[in-house]
Structure formats: C-alpha cells, structure tokens
Amino acid sequence: MPYVTVGKENSGDINLYYEDHGLGQPVVLIHGYPLSGASWERQVEALLAAGYRVITYDRRGFGKSSHPATGYNYDTFAEDLLRLVTQLQLHNFALVGFSMGGGEVARYLGAYGSKGVSKVVFISSVPPFLLKTSDNPEGVDGSVFEGIKKAVRKDRYAFFTEFFRNFYNADVLLGKRVSEQVMQASWNIAVGSSAAASFACVDTWHEDFRQDLTHVDVPTLVIQGDADRILPINASGLRTARLIKDAQLRVVHDGPHCITWTHADEVNAALVSFLGEGSGKVATARTKAVA
C-alpha cells in the first residue's frame, strides 16, 4: 500500500495512506469527518471514466493513515497535503474538498498559493467561518461545538450513529437515496478513526478561513445541498461562493450533507463538467445553478 511520510511521533513515522489511479490531469479528493478516502468511491469511478488521474488519501488519524496524538489543526493538515503533492510531483492538479476537506483546500491555497493548482471545488465544506462572533453573526453558536465535543468524549460510537442519521438525512432519504448498509459502512469507517482525532477535529470546524479564501485565484466550484443539517448552507456554501471572485455555485435541491453519495449523479456531472470533460450538463431536475 502506498504511503507518504509527513512527520514523526517519538520513535514512529506519521504516514498518510493514499491511492493513485488513472492517467490524465490529476484530481486530489480530500474526505470529510469522520470518514476516509474510501468515501469517494462514486466520484472516483466517474472521474476515472472521464479520463482523470484520481488521488485520494486518508487524513492523519483516519482510515489507514497513522493515528498520532497531535497535529489536528489545519496548518498541519495543509502541510500534510503539500507533502503528498510534492511526493507525487503533481502539476496542473485540481483540489476537491468535501466537508472538513474543504478546509484543507482553503488553507493550502492560503498558505502555499495556487502554483500548480488548476481548479478547486468545495463540496458541503466548512469555509468560510462557522463560529458565531461579533464580526460573524451568521455563524453557529460556540455551545453547539462544545456539545459535540462532549458527546464525542462521552461515547463517540453512539455519537457517530446519530451523526450519520443527519449526515444522510436518513428520516427522509433512507430506502430512497441511501441504504442502511451505506450508513453502517460509514459507521464502520468512523469507528476506525483514532479517539484523539475524533475529538480534536471538532475544534477545527470553526476555523476562520476568510483570509485564506482571498488567495483563491483559480476557477472555483461550490456545491452544497439546501437541506444540509451538518453545515447549514447559509453559513457555509453560499457565503464561500460570494467571497471567491467568479465562483460557480451549484445548489442541490433537497440535498443532505453527503450529496456525494445521495446525489452522486448530480455531483459527478457538476465535477466532470467543471473540470472540463464529459457532457457538460450540470443543471438537472434536482440541481440548480445560482448566480
């Protein structure tokens, strides 16, 4: 299995597991919490069929990557991404971040610039700034994040069960766009994460990415469902699209947080069209473009 070494913890290396498939222009897919690169299976298939080289990796603390006790902050996550990009000698590559992965995209560009980056995509992502403050009244009250941390610390396994119900809007979409087995598979991946990562990553969700977004100077696509219960679209995707010059926005009607699974056809069509290949038909009966 391929790994990139991104640091050391005491006597051991910190390694990130990655998969690298296909030929053509590289597309790096960055997963959300509390999953792994395996969560991109529906996008990997579509992008490979469209002629792209597709790279997924597991964030430190998740999936098959190392589970260190520290390093759970976006400066470190962006540096980890840089090490992967450097080891694979990527050029003219696209960055696609889902949920928490959108933070890596924003911080990477904020810290290292867009050299070598062709396009970026934010899917149901955490930027620009989720925490409610005096200069960010659209944000979420800090007590919400503290409650999540308390639940994770008390019983992260029970927390994940409830989390995925809202991740997929199971009360509405179960048996229609998502199965019990998919939710169970997500839970199985989640419980394989480290306890330290499960808890520490919650604080990263309200990182302020507003300054990072000013460095996004490549074509950008923002995709999010208007029924997202994990990251309300008014506090995340709509604002991100407004803050990035000339960003394209696609709102998936009735889409939950994990539109990459429940509305994979719409998401894949948007991705392939935006990246420059495929049919180019993004707007469908369930997907609408917003200026």
**Which residues are tagged catalytic?**
99, 228, 257
Q: Cα(2)–Cα(17) distance, rounded to whole angstroms?
A: 6
In sequence order, the 6+-apart residues with CB closer than 8 A to the CB of 163 are: 34, 190, 230
Task: Provide the 8-state DSSP code for 58.
Answer: P
3-state class (DSSP) for residue 216: coil
Q: Where are the alpha helices (DSSP H) in 27-73?
A: 41-49
Amino acid at 14: I
Looking at the chain, which runs of residues are DSSP E strands? 3-9, 12-21, 26-30, 53-57, 93-98, 117-123, 220-225, 248-252, 287-290
Interatomic CA distance for residues 221 and 242, integer angstroms: 11
Query: What is the 8-class DSSP label of residue 122?
Result: E
